[in-house]
Amino acid sequence: MPLLREIARFFETLGQGWEPALAIDYDVPEDKIYDCDMEILSKCGCAVFEVTLDAGHLMEIERGRRLGMKIYGFYQARKPGAPPPDKITKMLTTSGIPLFPYASWPELQNRLSRIFPAIETAKLSELARRKST
């Protein structure tokens, strides 16, 4: 959980309209978790998942894919560039979503810093193209 909080803080400081949403921050009755998580997810245009440990993210990732969201997965690695560990299911590693290793918070923060401003620039560029046509 502390790492997810750090990722959320990263997006808060990034600006550019990014708003982190952690399902754990919503007061949800236990029998409504699935519906509420899917509702939260459906309001997002992009999703970041820490996939090192299985924590229910597979259903959310699949739903996000079906919604056409940009999805990124990050996993802990002992050294930079290491492939996903065997404990990460092949269903995820072969799903087509980009998976990135990180060995420390600064490394993860660096990856996020490179990916998300690029997404924002691409969005603005796409909007400019749409307005000019």
Given pLDDT bands bounded at 50, 70 and 90, which one contains residue 45? confident
Q: Per-residue pLDDT tens for 77-126? A: 988 788 888 889 898 999 999 999 999 989 998 888 888 766 554 443 34
Which has more confidence, 11 or 126? 11
| CATH number of 67's domain | 3.40.50.450
Whether pTM exceeds 0.75: yes
Orientation angle between helical segments 33-42 and 57-66, nearest 10 degrees = 40
Q: How many domains does the chain have?
A: 1
**pLDDT value, residue 118:** 63
Residue 26 lies in domain: 2-132
For 25, list phi and psi in degrees, rounded to 5.
-80, -5
Closest CA to 64 of 50, 51, 45: 45
